[in-house]
Structure 1
């Protein structure tokens, strides 16, 4: 029986060369071909000249009132002219480089011509002749490539529609969901996308096709998530009374957002399934204390916890911060990095496997082959986007497949969190602690630079420090360094002898960068000139001013991350964006930065300005390229698809029912991996 999983080679006219061309477009099976949707439709509906706008593509039907005349226009170029009377109007029709059509045009015959109308000249630049009895109002136009033409793709789709129409009787979206959201059935959706009777049918089919894409995507993610949970998971039965007592001892009140995400995380930890959760929080939202509470919960269950940071300086900062939360006689916190001395390393490894260390904080050094834990229950990964999938997998392997809590300070709109991290559960801290002062942000033109630098100098006299970020020059680290060097020399002369200036750029070794940041933190110099290598998460509470030169060269999320380096103490902080943007896009970014310090609002704005692929980078982000659905514009639809998918996958043996046969077949590869997991 024909199946949508059949290879496209089953279709007539698809040899190895054409199959390869289709494969490059992501088309491997008949099902792929039938969901290779048109990018747009030409409106073929017949009109009268009086109803037609200048430059509009239109179909005119009328009588040929002059014989066709073919004239040459240079080498191998021709023009075929004749007059067409449409009711009371006479139109001059021209076909270019199609002289063979002359034999189909006779005076007195009725013809229908599709083309571009010029109202002033009363002429039609013809594109094609329509079949005499054609009732099609819309013509599907497909994306194509050099290797395969749009017309060939259309012919193959029409062939598949005829040959595989019975296979379309199996539904993908369950009937109750279709009824609830007024969606078309699978058969009508596919035919409505490729051969719509009118615009209303095309719109209804596109709406259903969008939902179907989101629904299949979410079903696949939920199956993967369930597969992961059924694979390896241990219940971390933490002591709730001890955790509550620990929270009461904190020197500050948790925000409502922190309480919410702590509950989400520890609820996951208690379940006998594997946790894979992403914790999102803007700069200063208090992610670290949430991680501390999750780690303490694991400790009360008799387990160990670890936190892995991307750099040594961040690991040291976490070790100091987290160590301050605990009585060293009750909870032992240690740090392990590449620079840990050999003797100390040997002792730490021995204590770790013996269970004498409760929390170990480190860098990639934590996933070396000689690392072994006594009973690792929770692994926290800071700035998770800095670690590859293999590194996260290695952390699970060294520690008995612990629960994973990944943290990021890069705000991602929920729009993208659903798609980019769809296989993870997402917790969001969307509230800053009470009393935290907003960073005051100003956009200045270059001719106001001197006033701004004078203001920074006055700030320095009160004992605080400042960053100056130099312009980003695309694809040229050498020029970035030259820029930074020039600014460093200029500012060193300006601030001398009262204040010292340091320099940080991408050509320095990691040890040199760490040394400079440590010296800056210790206030050994008061101004740090830097390229964009300022570490996310490095905490210098005494830094209260930042100046970003040529700020319009940076994306919104990058500007926000840079701004997050100041305002980490109790004093008022300032950011100056020095920029003369030459585009509206640049102006929009500057205005958005001044308007809000909310990272999630800015991330959503960045998404609207640049699109999903550019915000995260398609290859790195994991954001799928949907053929018709738009996860930004259709966020509500994506949310609904996710909710429905979760409900289905949470139903035991959902894939065994006849109603789900079509969906289960479409997800067969993912489902096979799920069933064969041991």
Structure 2
């Protein structure tokens, strides 16, 4: 007997049911046994004196009034009767379950599970529990219309009866003892059918550790294989030329920039393959670090590529690099979707024969006909915007070039460990001297007009302002001020003194670039834009940003947007225009006004909204754990990572008897890639 057998071997599972189970991700017996409840209902009987308002409870008592069914609306009904517990009488109501009338017999004792309404002294019933002693702790599963809760529970029970003995331990003994973990067979059973809440807590503790540990084992394996000496190239750059280049920069590097530059340069010279994530808050100076790494690569006779998500950003990076590099020494080029065919042919030819040292581009860089002469370093900026496969394609354009991922989206530590666990991480945690923190205020929509009036003073001082809107066109579902409407309003509001322009994602690239260029040159003073402005755009003269309907953005995105101002030496302001409907929305606005530290905000965002919202699961390669929670179980993730690192430090751990069960479930390291696809 094997846990890998199909669920179709179980009684009651024909082809149709097998298909319905497969839609829930259950194909094998092991997947069925590991399909854990997402919550449990505590159906222990309670006393009226010990329950709180809106609590879900089971109350036992005697039926003291005949049940009455009132019908209203189409197929709607309410069943009501009264019950007595220890001389206290309360009403019980069931909606749209008229068939329960026969179960409420006057004079008989029953147990009802439902939600208690303290004001009305009433129980809104969900179910009448059967005559047999109910389990105190009922599992609740994610199910579908085709597979009901009871069906699933019955199948899991049968599977445990027939296959329970086949469940084996997959963690080494020393970990079970060190962390006092429940053995796997016992934990799997207690996840479904715990005797009490404490047994369930211990089972969950074990399952969370196992999920994180097995994942980290694969990540560390991937890291080992990525960084092995046989996989990399040594970029032996010219130290003296690099020193002269950094000394020629028009500013002094911050301590943090020097530290991360040293980490990157050490990796470049090493034969090991570099896989490094460079995190730095908005405006912390990542571009300069990238320029130093690209320059070092060029001095060793290799080419460098910088891939960015938008054409506006690509254009800007090329301009920045050209200001830093001597054109006689470093040859740069720009390749995007709107590069004209003739120019494109010239660039591709020059790239293939090694005449171009550094190429900056969008997705255009990963098209089939783009070939390099000697690619040594690949840098991806705002890399969470690219799918994993896109990043991989660019890496494969060379013979295992060193890879540097950059992001200005501060990533909470738990997400960095999880999504980028195979990488080394460098953090720029210091701002360049002279940067004044952006002052952030939160106003209600009715305060907008006087605040726009206040902004006139900034415009009169020769500064510019951004106005950011969430949507382009009016949506019936969302009461959001659209960019076009705001644009028209501001044109009128600031006429004839100031020019207003509009930028959004549906415009042609050429049109976007023209509008951006005009704003940079101060030909227009107010730019109304959707979030296409979010990443990397640099207009030091812009000192005010209004973010309309700010409650519709996450903290990380608000922080990214806010980073478009405060890029010069003048005081800057970010005005959040919002009327959040719930406490979480109010909390987000409050946090934004209290801190400009992106890492603090990213941790808060993770707490408030969860990893899927912060990161976008699809793009990020973030695995979806069954039970483990990246927010609540963060400390377990840290421990699991440390333990996995220790195992991989043993060269021959796969051959050691105590690790045999673990080796069987940790896939060969190459297969670790599946986590990212």
TM-score between both structures, scaled by the size of structure 2: 0.85
Aligned to 1:57: 57
**In 1, distance between residues paired with 2:24 and 2:664?**
22
Structure 2 residue 385 is the aligned partner of structure 1 residue 386: yes
Aligned to 1:180: 178
Deviation at 1:511, TM superposition (A): 0.6
SS across alignment from 2:456: helix
Aligned to 2:234: 235
1:505-516 maps to which residues of 2 (within 5 A)? 505-516=504-515
Aligned to 1:553: 552
C-alpha contact 2:80 2:91 (8 A) present in aligned 1 = no
C-alpha contact 2:411 2:599 (8 A) present in aligned 1 = yes
Deviation at 1:653, TM superposition (A): 4.0
Aligned to 1:216: 214
**In 2, distance between residues paired with 1:49 and 1:481?**
46
C-alpha contact 1:282 1:429 (8 A) present in aligned 2 = yes
351 and 623 in structure 1: CA distance in 2 versus 1, 3 angstrom threshold: closer
Aligned to 2:644: 645
Deviates more, 1:386-395 or 1:155-164: 386-395
Aligned to 2:296: 297
559 and 656 in structure 1: CA distance in 2 versus 1, 3 angstrom threshold: same
**In 2, distance between residues paired with 1:390 and 1:664?**
27
93 and 556 in structure 1: CA distance in 2 versus 1, 3 angstrom threshold: closer
**In 2, distance between residues paired with 1:672 and 1:548?**
44
Output one character per residue of 1:298-317: Cα deviation in whole Å (capped at 9) or x when no partner. 23433111112233332222
C-alpha contact 2:45 2:57 (8 A) present in aligned 1 = no
Aligned to 1:127: 128
1:25-64 maps to which residues of 2 (within 5 A)? 25-43=24-42, 57-58=57-58
Structure 2 residue 429 is the aligned partner of structure 1 residue 430: yes
1:202-213 maps to which residues of 2 (within 5 A)? 202-213=200-211
SS across alignment from 1:499: coil
1:630-669 maps to which residues of 2 (within 5 A)? 630-668=629-667
SS across alignment from 1:442: strand
SS across alignment from 1:610: helix
Aligned to 2:619: 620
Structure 2 residue 585 is the aligned partner of structure 1 residue 586: yes
Aligned to 1:409: 408
Deviation at 1:56, TM superposition (A): 6.0
**In 2, distance between residues paired with 1:56 and 1:450?**
47
1:476-491 maps to which residues of 2 (within 5 A)? 476=475, 483-491=482-490
Deviation at 1:153, TM superposition (A): 1.6
Unaligned runs of 5+ in 2: none
Aligned to 1:142: 141
Unaligned runs of 5+ in 1: none
1:157-196 maps to which residues of 2 (within 5 A)? 157-168=156-167, 170-196=168-194
C-alpha contact 1:78 1:98 (8 A) present in aligned 2 = no
Output one character per residue of 1:574-621: Cα deviation in whole Å (capped at 9) or x when no partner. 122233334333322222221112222222222222222222233333
C-alpha contact 2:46 2:57 (8 A) present in aligned 1 = no
Structure 2 residue 369 is the aligned partner of structure 1 residue 370: yes
SS across alignment from 1:366: helix
SS across alignment from 1:605: helix
**In 1, distance between residues paired with 2:474 and 2:271?**
48
SS across alignment from 2:580: coil
149 and 450 in structure 1: CA distance in 2 versus 1, 3 angstrom threshold: closer
C-alpha contact 1:52 1:58 (8 A) present in aligned 2 = no
Output one character per residue of 1:529-553: Cα deviation in whole Å (capped at 9) or x when no partner. 2232225112111111222233333
**In 2, distance between residues paired with 1:533 and 1:80?**
56
Deviation at 1:79, TM superposition (A): 9.6
Deviates more, 1:49-58 or 1:369-378: 49-58
Output one character per residue of 1:353-393: Cα deviation in whole Å (capped at 9) or x when no partner. 33333222233343343332221110112222333334323
332 and 148 in structure 1: CA distance in 2 versus 1, 3 angstrom threshold: same
Aligned to 1:198: 196
C-alpha contact 1:467 1:530 (8 A) present in aligned 2 = yes
TM-score between both structures, scaled by the size of structure 1: 0.85
1:464-479 maps to which residues of 2 (within 5 A)? 464-470=463-469, 472=471, 476=475
C-alpha contact 1:78 1:99 (8 A) present in aligned 2 = no
Aligned to 1:7: 6
C-alpha contact 2:43 2:113 (8 A) present in aligned 1 = no
Aligned to 1:567: 566
Aligned to 2:318: 319
SS across alignment from 2:558: helix
C-alpha contact 1:34 1:160 (8 A) present in aligned 2 = yes
1:599-618 maps to which residues of 2 (within 5 A)? 599-618=598-617
SS across alignment from 2:306: strand
**In 2, distance between residues paired with 1:630 and 1:89?**
42
15 and 324 in structure 1: CA distance in 2 versus 1, 3 angstrom threshold: same
Structure 2 residue 286 is the aligned partner of structure 1 residue 287: yes
Deviation at 1:651, TM superposition (A): 3.2
129 and 508 in structure 1: CA distance in 2 versus 1, 3 angstrom threshold: closer
* Count of equivalent residues: 662
**In 2, distance between residues paired with 1:175 and 1:375?**
49
Deviates more, 1:628-637 or 1:259-268: 259-268
C-alpha contact 1:380 1:407 (8 A) present in aligned 2 = yes
174 and 243 in structure 1: CA distance in 2 versus 1, 3 angstrom threshold: farther
C-alpha contact 1:664 1:671 (8 A) present in aligned 2 = no
Deviates more, 1:470-479 or 1:606-615: 470-479
C-alpha contact 2:181 2:202 (8 A) present in aligned 1 = yes
SS across alignment from 1:467: strand
Deviates more, 1:318-327 or 1:434-443: 318-327
481 and 521 in structure 1: CA distance in 2 versus 1, 3 angstrom threshold: farther
**In 2, distance between residues paired with 1:385 and 1:477?**
31
Deviation at 1:463, TM superposition (A): 2.1
**In 2, distance between residues paired with 1:83 and 1:483?**
55
481 and 358 in structure 1: CA distance in 2 versus 1, 3 angstrom threshold: farther
SS across alignment from 2:324: coil
84 and 6 in structure 1: CA distance in 2 versus 1, 3 angstrom threshold: farther
